[in-house]
């Protein structure tokens, strides 16, 4: 679907969507429409008891006095509490509504909203992003779809009187949308198509966007001593990979920000085999790597003024005769030894070497890792928030603020030396599981031993990387969660 920023001239075809805030008069475009309808819009609003509350939608078919076939008014709630994510959700909801009505072309009025913290022009840009995100589809493997099963909407124009500002903001936001699309595609791909080597190949293709991309194979990782990462993939016929993506948009002397992603392209659990029910979802166990890859594309596409590094560890966890066993002891790149007590606690083993490699080679300002790491985080937080763990309060607060601004929210959980006793091993420096209690915390505590004092945060996205249903701006199973969060973190704090 094509999304554009357009003038505030009333459209002559398709559907028109007006925005409304609670407790205020009609916004400028709605006023113009009401005049053209000889007060008909005001009468319809009154008759329907439409108050402009969040999620309210007024639908008027064949409105008199204007040329469009359908007129909608969507509520945004109170102006003072409106956030960009609220605009995006409203636009996404309306894209779904327009497709449901089999409408081919729509226009959304992106009026300035008095009393809101969102500037004129930015309103239109965020409405455009919501429409873009809502239009995502992963239909490449469907061969029998009928025309009426496909989206009808082909074009959305977001109208604004502040076109210059809106177009500038939209250029950046549409780049973020590209990153979200890529992350969703990666998570949604079937595991016979997306495996470590093919994932790495997709990353290499991003050199056309300005990224520098390196791929390390198993022999290179063996020389570096990455026994923790390599042990996970030794039961697979697919070769494990470590991909390094770099965006050099800052000054030469500026330390990079670093993002590290877990990329288990399929997770059977290994010898500690998972139950069969739901195992197909384990194609998405590379959601952290997908988010890092999408973020790196977003930064490059909008030419972010920052130096950034994305490192992803790509493995397939399979249970063949050569697979890692419970009871094995491996040596990580850091030199620390790990007793394997459960081969299904494999993501932390991948991240241990990826984190150590990142801090050792790049000396970054900070590291943030993303991983679909524990089922325990789903029990704690469901699908609404990701888990945040950090050894640095300033970084944690910056991430939480970026989450609120982007709509990708987190909840911070505790860490501390007391949890180390739960991962203490009788035979090695530590073991890879901590037992029944505090599962997400002990996983984070394990990772903290591989950061070497660099400011660090761990995001457990097992509840947010994919979803059981759908949301207005996230209609597919794979959500692309993390791209908007990390891009907002960079833009708010590290490009000034």
CA 110 to each of CA 87, 173, 272, 288, 488: distance values in angstroms, whole numbers, following the listed order: 10, 15, 53, 34, 22
Contact 19, 74 (CB under 8 A): yes
Helix axes 122-134, 84-100, angle to 10 degrees: 50
Q: Which two tokens stand for residue 350?
A: 């991948």
Annotation says 155 is catalytic: no
Report how far residue 342's alpha carbon sits from residue 269's, in angstroms, rounded to the nearest whole number: 8
Q: Quick one: the chain helix, strand, coil %, rounded to 5? A: 40, 20, 40
Please report where in the chains the tokens 């909608």 appear, as a residue: 72
Torsion of CA 429, 430, 431, 437, to 10 degrees: 160
Residue 12, annotated ligand binder?
no
Contact 256, 309 (CB under 8 A): yes
State in Å, rounded, how far the first CA of the chain is from the last one. Answer: 34
Interior/surface letters 429-442, b for 16+ CB within 10 angstroms, e for the rest: bbbbbbeeebbbbb
Annotation says 167 is catalytic: no
Q: Which two tokens stand for residue 279?
A: 């195992």
From 298, 107, 321, select the one nearest 235 (Cα to Cα).
Answer: 321
CA 346 to each of CA 10, 220, 325: distance values in angstroms, whole numbers, following the listed order: 56, 20, 12
Residue 285, annotated ligand binder?
yes
Q: Which one is catalytic: 104, 202, 274, 412?
A: 274
Neighbours of 275 (CB within 10 A): 7
Residue 281, annotated ligand binder?
no
CA atoms within 13 A on the CB side of 429: 12
Residues 6+ apart with CB under 8 A from 192: none
Q: Which one is catalytic: 70, 348, 484, 488?
A: 348
Report how far residue 50's alpha carbon sits from residue 421's, in angstroms, rounded to the nearest whole number: 58
Contact 362, 307 (CB under 8 A): no
CA 319 to each of CA 287, 352, 374, 398: distance values in angstroms, whole numbers, following the listed order: 21, 21, 20, 40
Burial class of 259 by CB neighbour count within 10 A (0 to 12, 13 to 18, 19+): buried
Write phi, then psi, for 73 (nearest 5 degrees).
Answer: -125, 125
Report, as residue numbers or ranges, the catalytic residues: 274, 348
Annotated binding residues for Mn(2+), as ranges?
262, 267, 285, 344, 346
* Annotation: binding site: 262, 267, 285, 344, 346
């Amino acid at each position: 679907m094509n999304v554009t920023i357009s003038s505030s001239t009333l459209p002559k075809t398709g559907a028109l969507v007006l925005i409304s805030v609670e407790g205020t008069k009609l916004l400028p475009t709605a006023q113009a429409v009401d005049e053209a309808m000889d007060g008909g819009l005001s009468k319809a609003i009154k008759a329907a008891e439409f108050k402009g509350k969040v999620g309210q939608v007024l639908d008027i078919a064949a409105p008199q006095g204007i040329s469009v076939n359908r007129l909608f008014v969507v509520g945004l709630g109170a102006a003072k509490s409106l956030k960009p994510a609220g605009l995006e959700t409203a636009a996404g909801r309306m894209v779904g509504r327009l497709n449901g009505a089999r409408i081919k072309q729509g226009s959304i009025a992106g009026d300035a909203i008095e009393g809101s913290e969102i500037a004129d022009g930015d309103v239109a840009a965020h409405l455009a992003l919501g429409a873009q995100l809502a239009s995502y589809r992963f239909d490449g493997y469907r061969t029998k779809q009928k025309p009426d099963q496909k989206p009808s909407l082909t074009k959305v124009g977001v109208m604004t009187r502040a076109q210059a500002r809106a177009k500038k903001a939209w250029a950046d936001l549409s780049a973020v949308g590209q990153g979200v699309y890529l992350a969703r595609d990666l998570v949604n791909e079937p595991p016979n198509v997306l495996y470590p080597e093919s994932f790495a190949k997709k990353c290499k293709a991003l050199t056309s966007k300005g990224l520098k991309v390196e791929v390390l194979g198993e022999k290179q990782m063996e020389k570096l001593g990455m026994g923790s990462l390599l042990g996970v993939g030794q039961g697979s016929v697919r070769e494990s990979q470590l991909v390094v993506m770099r965006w050099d948009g800052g000054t030469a002397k500026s330390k990079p920000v670093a993002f590290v992603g877990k990329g288990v392209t399929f997770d059977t659990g290994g010898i500690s085999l998972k139950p069969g029910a739901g195992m197909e979802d384990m194609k998405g166990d590379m959601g952290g790597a997908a988010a890092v890859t999408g973020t790196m594309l977003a930064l490059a596409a909008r030419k972010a003024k920052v130096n950034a590094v994305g490192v992803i560890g790509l493995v397939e966890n399979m249970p063949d005769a050569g697979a890692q066993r419970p009871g094995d002891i491996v040596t990580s790149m850091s030199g620390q030894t790990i007793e394997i007590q459960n081969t299904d606690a494999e993501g932390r083993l991948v991240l241990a070497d990826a984190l150590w490699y990142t801090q050792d080679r790049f000396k970054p300002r900070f590291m943030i890792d993303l991983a679909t790491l524990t089922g325990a985080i789903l029990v704690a937080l469901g699908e609404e928030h990701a888990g945040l763990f950090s050894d640095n309060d300033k970084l944690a607060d910056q991430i939480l603020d970026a989450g609120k601004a982007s709509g990708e929210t987190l909840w911070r959980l505790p860490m501390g030396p007391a949890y180390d006793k739960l991962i203490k091993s009788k035979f090695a420096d530590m073991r890879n599981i901590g037992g029944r209690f505090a599962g997400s915390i002990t996983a984070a505590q394990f990772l903290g031993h591989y950061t070497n004092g660099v400011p660090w945060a761990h995001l457990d996205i097992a509840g947010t990387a994919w979803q059981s249903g759908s949301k207005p701006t996230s209609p597919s199973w794979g959500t692309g969660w993390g791209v908007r969060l990390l891009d907002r973190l960079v833009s708010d704090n590290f490009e000034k």
